[in-house]
């Protein structure tokens, strides 16, 4: 039977690059205007159905992947995933947000903000670990929430995932430009075009667009090659971080830590809400399930192994910065580079800038990789056009989904400043991680068609 359903004809494989209506609007409701009007008249019934309907493990791990037509290549081990963890988390967060929030909200107490955010992030890691063992799907949190909390919550989550992926990549790309100018020993905005647009959107950044395009191209070519590149870049970045810690504490002055909490507890919590973004990205590891050789073993090792080390490193780096330089004198755009310059280690400024560039490059690589997998699974569920779910037969990567991320991120990165982008990201990240904790409670204590539905609402609201 051919793809058109005619018996006796040879099956013709469908090309990857296609643009038919069926690939974008396959649902029966969109076949003609009459069907569309009928669907609109059923909006109330359909909304109610989506509100209470839930998926299941079998559907997310076995049935939905068929929508991609080709399988992703299983080529990753726990070792790759640990390095992906480093690559997806250590980047703009620690090198840029630390300086911004130390200067604006927390002062030397920024270390407390990182401790609080780190504890919260580790709790989220445990949630992801438990889910990833039982549901090894590329959808990550989207798939987990669709199973436990239903299609409507998954739809809201999908919107936040898209926001986090697009805005997150744009934020890292903007930070990349700032550190690149530091490496060239130029003012942080010297490579951006100044315009008369509204503040926060008036500095156009073409370099950020180029960086995003290069990162996306690499991830589309091969997941395995992306992993090799991530190893190298992350290793260089870790060497630089080790240098920052050793050199930073060697130049530390306890007098710089006074006053320790100049903005009070409110400032510490305000900073914690923002720097929580620095821990974001580890969920990308869960999206690698369909490309991992043994996901039930390798993903938990990758998640817990990488995040345990990263939490300690972040807290130490957050402590070293205000000990080197008074919080009032910190440059929010390139904090560590200028801090070393202030203590007479001008040459270290370039080494730190190079390390920051390496770190943010890996964040872009792994972030683009993970977000494309999220989008692939969202498209499999037809919450966005299924054209984005297609996996290329030769590369084994979701090229269409990657293009969606890079084009959208480039448009935002070209106009929007880093502080505008990071304020959006933390809210989105916290929202998804909160839902993940609720979903884990539901998975443990609610059984479909067994537990009465009123008990589900009570569980979500009270945890009992």
CATH number at residue 451: 1.20.1740.10
Please report the DSSP string for 200-248 in residue order.
TS-EE-HHHHHHHHHHHHHHHH-HHHHHHHHHHHHHHHHHHHHHHHHHH
- What is the structure's pLDDT at 363? 82
Q: Are the C-beta atoms of 419 and 100 separated by less than 8 Å? A: yes
Q: Look at residue 63 and tell me if it is in a domain.
A: no
Q: Residue 134's pLDDT band (boundaries 50, 70, 90)?
A: confident
Of 385, 285, 400, 267, nearest to 322 by C-alpha is: 267
- pTM of the entire structure? 0.81
Count the alpha carbons within 13 Å of 264 in the hemisphere toward its beta carbon: 1
Of 299, 305, 297, nearest in space to 283 by CA: 299
Residue 409 is part of which domain span? 69-462
pLDDT, one tens digit per residue, over 141-160 is 899 999 988 888 999 988 88
**Quick check: is 220 in a domain?**
yes
Highest mean pLDDT among 52-56, 116-120, 327-331, 332-336 belongs to 116-120
Give the total number of structural domains in the chain: 1
CB atoms within 10 A of CB 344: 9
pLDDT beyond 70 at 461: no
Would you say residue 10 lies in a domain?
Answer: no
Nearest to 113 by CA among 426, 432, 437, 366: 426
The pLDDT value given to residue 335? 80
Kindly state whether residue 53 falls inside one of the protein's structural domains. Answer: no
C-alpha span between 298 and 5 (Å, rounded): 41
Residue 175 has a pLDDT of: 81
- Take residue 3 and report the two structure tokens written for it: 């793809």
Looking at the domain assignment, is residue 174 inside a domain?
A: yes
Assess if residue 61 is contained within a domain.
no
Cα–Cα dist 277/117, whole Å: 9
Domain membership of residue 22 (yes or no) is no
Q: How confident is the model at residue 401 (pLDDT cuts 50, 70, 90)?
A: very high
In whole numbers, what is the pLDDT of the chain averaged over residues? Answer: 83
User: Binning pLDDT at 50, 70 and 90, where does residue 178 land?
Assistant: confident
HSE (side-chain half, CA atoms, 13 Å) at 243: 20
pLDDT at 214 over 90: yes
Tell me if 60 is assigned to some domain: no
């Amino acid at each position: 039977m051919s793809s058109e359903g005619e018996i006796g004809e040879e099956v013709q494989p469908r090309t990857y690059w296609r643009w038919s209506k069926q690939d974008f609007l396959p649902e029966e409701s969109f076949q003609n205007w009459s069907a569309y009007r009928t669907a609109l008249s059923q909006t109330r019934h359909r909304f109610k159905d989506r509100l209470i309907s839930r998926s299941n493990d079998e559907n997310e791990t076995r049935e939905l992947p068929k929508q991609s037509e080709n399988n992703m290549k299983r080529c990753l081990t726990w070792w790759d995933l640990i390095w992906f963890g480093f690559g997806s988390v250590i980047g703009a967060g620690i090198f840029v947000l630390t300086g911004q929030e130390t200067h604006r909200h927390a002062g030397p107490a920024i270390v407390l903000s990182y401790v609080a955010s780190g504890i919260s992030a580790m709790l989220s890691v445990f949630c992801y670990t438990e889910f990833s063992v039982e549901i090894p799907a590329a959808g990550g949190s989207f798939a987990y929430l669709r199973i436990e909390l239903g299609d409507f919550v998954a739809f809201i989550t999908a919107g936040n995932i898209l926001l986090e992926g697009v805005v997150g990549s744009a934020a890292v790309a903007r930070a990349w430009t700032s550190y690149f100018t530091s490496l060239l020993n130029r003012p942080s905005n010297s490579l951006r075009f100044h315009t008369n647009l509204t503040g926060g959107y008036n500095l156009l950044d073409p370099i950020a667009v180029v960086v995003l395009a290069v990162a996306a191209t690499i991830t589309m070519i091969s997941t395995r090659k992306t992993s090799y590149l991530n190893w190298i870049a992350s290793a260089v970045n870790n060497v630089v971080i080790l240098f920052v810690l050793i050199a930073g504490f060697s130049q530390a002055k306890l007098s710089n830590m006074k006053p320790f909490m100049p903005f009070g507890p409110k400032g510490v919590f305000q900073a914690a809400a923002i720097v929580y973004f620095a821990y974001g990205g580890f969920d990308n590891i869960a999206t690698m399930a369909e490309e991992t050789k043994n996901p039930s073993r390798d993903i938990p090792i990758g998640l817990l192994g990488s995040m345990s080390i990263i939490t300690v490193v972040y807290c130490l780096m957050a402590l070293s910065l205000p000990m080197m330089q008074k919080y009032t004198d910190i440059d929010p755009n390139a904090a560590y580079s200028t801090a070393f310059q202030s203590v007479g280690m001008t040459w270290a400024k370039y080494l730190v800038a190079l390390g920051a560039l390496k770190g943010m490059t890996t964040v872009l690589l792994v972030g683009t990789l993970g977000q494309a997998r999220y989008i692939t699974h969202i498209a499999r569920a037809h919450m966005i056009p299924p054209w984005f779910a297609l996996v290329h037969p030769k590369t084994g990567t979701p090229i269409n989904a990657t293009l969606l991320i890079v084009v959208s991120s480039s448009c935002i990165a070209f106009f929007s400043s880093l502080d505008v982008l990071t304020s959006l990201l933390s809210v989105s990240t916290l929202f998804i991680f909160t839902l993940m904790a609720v979903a884990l409670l539901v998975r443990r204590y609610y059984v479909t068609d067994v537990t009465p539905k009123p008990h589900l609402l009570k569980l979500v609201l009270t945890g009992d």
